Structure 1
Amino acid sequence: MSDPTVEPGAPADGATNLPSASEKSVAAEAKRRVPKLAQLAATPDRIILRLNKLLAAPGGLSAFLSTFNYTLYLLAWLEAKSTPLKIRIYQLLNNTTVVTVVDNGPSHIAALGSLLSSTRTTLRLFGLLPMYAWFRQLMQGPKPGQDRILYATSVTQCCLYISFQFLENVAFLTDHNVLPRSYTTRWTQASGGKTAKIYLWSYRSWMGGVLCDIVRLFREAQLERARRSQRTTTDVSTMEEDKATDEKWWSQMVVPLSWLPVAIQFSKEGGIPGFNLGIMGLCGAMAGLGRTAELWAKTAE
């Protein structure tokens, strides 16, 4: 005889411990079986949000595009040099000595690098605005207690960078027919109307600005040594502070030293013998990597 207390359609006593529908869901089961699945799924989301913060930070877009651009140059060079390796791998996998025809058409990586380079040049058209603000600030004179050599170096560097940006803008706008070519005939007629001469002097100004960074850093090191020599005692906290200062100095010195070969290459007619896309990509990537890594670390805050 059946239990009269059990209503039609209601579960029997043996089924009262069944889990709820939410507990039996696929998402809950996956989360229970694979605890890190949700974290892995959220990783791309976090990366995209951090990348957005990096690009929105002051100087973030410029630093990211520069590092990415020169990394592409390095990859394009490695791709071009990998043809013998591709042939050898094909021969090993197919157990043959036949030399296959490898597609040596235009590199898509190099094309993207060229596009980014043009994009960065376009964005630099507005670079004279912050340089004017910097120059205007410098014209107010050195700050109280500022070293005279450092101040003179900053003024020189600012003038050189303004010259670089102005000449690059003129050449770039002339190449794209925004400025009439008659404006630059005096400098382009010797090269058949090409703006190579304008770019050459633009890059020479840029190289001067890079050298100013090296002068500034050496002067700062000289002043720091003089300051440390006047100490009477040194404790643990002071040593840690000095270590942090030294690390910061070296990280800053890497930037102009990395840019210098690139600057010389573009500032010298004919360039540096043996200089190639791979060297340029490596130098540029090293120069921008520190700044990009610093900005990326701040996005986690």
Structure 2
Amino acid sequence: MKTAIYSEFGTPEKVLQTKEVERPQPGPGQVLVKMVLSPVHNHDLMTIAGHYGFKPALPAVPGTEAVGVVEALGEGVTHLKQGQRVAGGAEKTWAEYYLATAARLVPVPDSVSDETACQLVSMPLSAKMLLDTLEVGAGDWIAINAANGAVGKLLAQYGAEKGVNVLGLVRRDAAVDEMAALGFKTVVATEGEDWQEKVRTITGGAPIIRGIESLGGDGAAQLSGILADGAQLISFGAMTGRPLKISAGELLFRNISVKGFWGAKPPVKPERIGELLGELIRDAAAGKLVLDIEAAYPITDVAEAVRASGEPGRKGKIAIKGS
């Protein structure tokens, strides 16, 4: 079977290759899945570059989520069956076949597209868990940068369901129009000089008590500058690859606090994760959760896929497709 693979950490489009390997066999509690679509997430690219929270042993196969069809069941797996379409978190999913822990897979209803199913866990679940831990309620304002990304859109959607006001920051004026076309109206571009005044107009001067920071670098200072005194800034990502830049004055004189959030070590109980996954499945089946794919590339074009993932203005994820 074909698989994407890298033997050194570095720029993804330079170190990724395609290789023929033997198909793995499922062990106890495992399932062999024939991959249909697997998204290219930012954390996948950071892992390949060697900049994520853990480093896999090399050589390594990338990919952390997919939708596929059950090919074979390992010993003790009784809740899934051969030929069933499943989605969920896994490892080494940028391959024609991959192994997954059966307990981490969920059957996908026929009403859910492959494009949505392949992204059903990582970003939507992170957004749900994040909102669960922000300690905000109806009428409160929170802000998120990189708001035109998957988590930004999902947080706005789920926040609205709870009555939480979500202000989105984007870097381009064009992205404001793109978000408006999708129904997201409280979005401001930071490339203009008067963007902070636009924020105050949208919020009516109400305090913004939480900030979700996904850029790194200057993104933290931009975001903290519109937060209320005593607010909390949550470091959620580092798309720029640069350290957070925030002045000591923000912490000392305005009592802004900073904490991190990592979905791999979620601050919610396992049973709550199960409840949230059930909500996601129901939302997707009902058409309330729809996640687009900009383009899907075969495994043989994996380097081109990760290059395309870095292009601005995408309307959906880039994905790797199976045979």
Tell me whether the two structures share a fold, i.e. TM-score over 0.5. Answer: no
TM-score (norm 2): 0.21
User: Relative contact order: is structure 1 or structure 2 higher (C-alpha 8 Å, sep ≥ 6)?
Assistant: 1
Which has more radius of gyration?
A: 1
